[in-house]
Amino acid sequence: MKNKLMILPFMIILASLMVLGATMQSPTASSTIEGTGYLMNVTVDNDNTENCTITLTSTLSGDSLATVLTNSSDDAAFLNGTFDTESLEDAADYAVTGTCYNTSGASETVTGITLVQVDNTIPTAPTSMLPTSSSDKRNIALSASVGAAVTTICTATISAPHHTETYSMTHTGTSCTATIDLPGGGEYQYYITASDGLNTTSNTAVNLHVSEDGSGAAYAGPASTTSSNNNNKTLGTLALLGIAIVVFATQGGSTTKRKRSKRSKRRR
């Protein structure tokens, strides 16, 4: 009995230092948060919890923010706190994790949640599009400038007669780039879309001529038109030569007949 009484205080101390569990009540997984005064709430197992440190992290935006929630009463089983969501870049993949601490130094791990969406802005339309009008190769390098703070994803959509395809682009800071192999030369249209994972904005479509052979030769206008004009000129020249030959031959024949007729009369 004496030994049991001695062990009891140690068990109480150990229990107070045990890692307990806390639950995120707001936000919840896959929910959307916005504004400058978003209210965050965590429920805890230990009534003596003083504060919780909550961290939001996005892989898409590369952004992260830590905020501290406090307990207005040691007896309360929940902690609240507000933070400015506009200090985070918009994205749809924020993960929320955290740890809470009580007056004895014991910690409680907050059950993590994922896919929290921060949505405060809309991406601006891409600018400085390249190429602007023509390409001498089928392998084209597309690029555009985007708003770094409001863009996490870029795509390029290329259209040809009876066919449209969308390609992923590499987004780094204010730049979106991609190298794309087109199936052949001809007339295309393309536009680039900036996205934050929640909203999208595209630029006005750009008309693009790609040289027929894709050999790298500079585009100098429609080859078929030039060929057609040259053929027409050749045919016209041949026609004129033919007419001249016929006329000459006809006139020559008539003169010969007249001369022969005059000679015949003299002989008589």
**Cα distance between residue 160 and residue 266, in whole Å:** 83
pTM score above 0.75 = no
Q: Which of 135, 127, 53 is nearest to 97 (CA)?
A: 53
Read out DSSP for 114-159?
EEEEE----PPPPEEEES-SEESSSEEEEEEE--GGG-SEEEEEEE
Enumerate domains of the chain plus CATH numbers.
2-118 (2.60.40.10), 127-217 (2.60.40.10)
Asked if residue 64 lies in contact with residue 89, where contact means CB atoms within 8 angstroms, the answer is: no
CB 120, CB 34: distance < 8 Å: yes
What pLDDT is attached to residue 71?
A: 82
Per-residue pLDDT of the chain (268 residues; tens, 9 = 90+): 455 545 544 444 444 444 457 999 999 999 999 999 999 999 998 778 889 999 999 998 899 999 999 887 656 788 999 999 999 999 999 999 999 998 888 898 999 999 999 999 999 999 999 999 988 888 999 999 999 889 999 999 999 988 899 999 999 999 999 999 998 889 999 999 999 999 999 999 999 999 876 554 433 333 333 333 444 444 444 444 554 444 444 455 444 444 444 444 444 4
